[in-house]
Structure 1
Amino acid sequence: MYPFDYQRIDTQQALSAAQQDQRGQTGKQTSYLAGGTTLLDLMKLGTLAPAVVLDINGLAHDYGDISWSGDELKLGALVRMSAAADHQHVRTDFPVIAQSLELAASPQIRNMASLGGNVLQRTRCNYFRQPGWSACNKRQPGSGCAAIEGVNRKHAILGVSDHCIAAYPGDFAQALIALDASVDILGANGTRTIGFDQLHLTPGTEPERETILLPGELITAFHVPTGPWTKRSLYLKIRDRESYEFALVSAAVAMHLEDNAIKDVRIALGGVATKPWRAREAERQLIGNRPGLPAFEAASKIAFAGAITRPGNRYKAELGQQTLTRALLQLTEMEI
């Protein structure tokens, strides 16, 4: 580890830091610290080296609550993953959210990690996390992508580019994007709210830009609207082992069934894309159809029609289709 400045800050200090960052006045790389389950790992590895670490846990009195209004679930960004997963309304009315949190990491990490930090976690690509590898456009723009011709078994097949194929690793984000969540962002000019599907970026020619957040901006809350599909929802995660492992493929799905017809359906895919991935074409294929294996298999093929594979991760296209089909079948069998 290397020397760095550490400060605990309140909301006003956070805004001041954001203003300084946006104006380029600090001259130092700063990072926010909540649970620290991603940041500290990357600092120890030498992948990230912020000169200033700003501890935002003092903001929990403003952004650390869960509220339920009947038509919307609001999750503060400093709510811990375990607290959200154990919340009564989350478990009963938004099971896909509870399951995505329960299936992530270990109990110890879920007790520490914040929801805001979780959606901003960095890729698990070894070429990014190990500075000894020089070719990583995400860490060193213009250096190349070692994973394209290297070991890429766990890498993305959707949303990739010639500059990066690193997979987004999170679970919770798939539930949020499937349920049309929105996110509050605090910055130098106050608070703005955007659709969660606008937060993350595909790599394109700039893999180093992973989100639309400006320097110094903070996520403060998530808003998840209630709908006839939220109770009939689930998260299915396929991985190499049953605990403390990232997804090879995952599916966050939600459905509104009426008179044995699919009135609405939401599909998000994890482990296979460079960002939280909404499979909207597959959704359109299903709406109006009767639920069943033929319809689900057809939609699953559409969801992966744009996959770009390499020798190491070619299996993900087939595994992804099977995973999505299985998730949709399980969804129709739910008793709500």
Structure 2
Amino acid sequence: MSNTVEAYDLVKTYGKGVRALDGLSISVPAGEVFALLGPNGAGKSTTIKILTTLARPDSGTVTVAGHDALAHPAKVRRVIGVVSQKSGADPVATGRQNLLLQGRLYRLSGRDLKRRVGELLERFALGEFADRAVSTYSGGTQRRLDVALGLMNRPEVLFLDEPTAGLDPQARTAMWAEISRLAADESMAILLTTHHLEEADRLARRVSIVDRGRIVVTGSPDQLKSELRGDAVHIELRDEGDDHAKAALENVPGVREVTLAGRQLSARADDGAATVPHALAALDKAGTPAATVTVARPSLDDVYFRYAGKRFETEVAA
């Protein structure tokens, strides 16, 4: 299967030597959902801007759907769809009017335009809202419209930036189902950026974690999780942690890969359940008692923690 998106050795520097990308390379074949994860400032947004022709790298090569994105950006724009985190729909116009305008921008007209708008309204269950102003839409309905707008031109590559940001659990689950249906179309590659690791775990065939402008690991969610032996042990301390708490946990037999972020201690253990009593006793003895403790099988969050050096939800909230 040929790669629909191919970026090689991208370098991008801003301002006074701030290197946003430092030799980043990714490839996404048709028919795959590919998730790009990483801390804020890691280079995700810069990568997406370059792939969608909104920015140029200092060096490197980019091919999208067979087109050189640096030499022929207009050709790339005709074959991609972009769903940004912030809606691009006109809130005063109706959903139908937004879709008609989007179609005209892609030079659709007459029956072809009318047919395509009808298809998208039906596919995303927008019929009953089609002639209402977008400003009256719920978050989930507006997000469905955003995706419909991104699909107007039947893109070969669809970029989804935080597609479920701000949605309630029911709307998020419905959007996941729709993205899964889109992924079943073998002619389309989907590149997803998200702050919901469960989203990446559920939807993506492959995941890349980017940090400091470079890809640090790539693989399927199951493959990456299987590389983490044992159980994940997460401990929330009663007070801010210090080196004493970290050292106390490191000295517990069977414990490894101990990391500390504020009040959050995390580690891997051969047998999590058996380790907990010894870990709690060690922390009490060190004068840094635990408030809560959880034991779980490896998750994509744990993979992220290993390679990006901090818990994902903590980084997002920061």
Q: TM-score, normalised by structure 1?
A: 0.21
* Greater RCO structure (CA 8 Å; 6+ sep): 2
More strand by share: 2
More helix by share: 2
TM-score (normalised: structure 2): 0.21
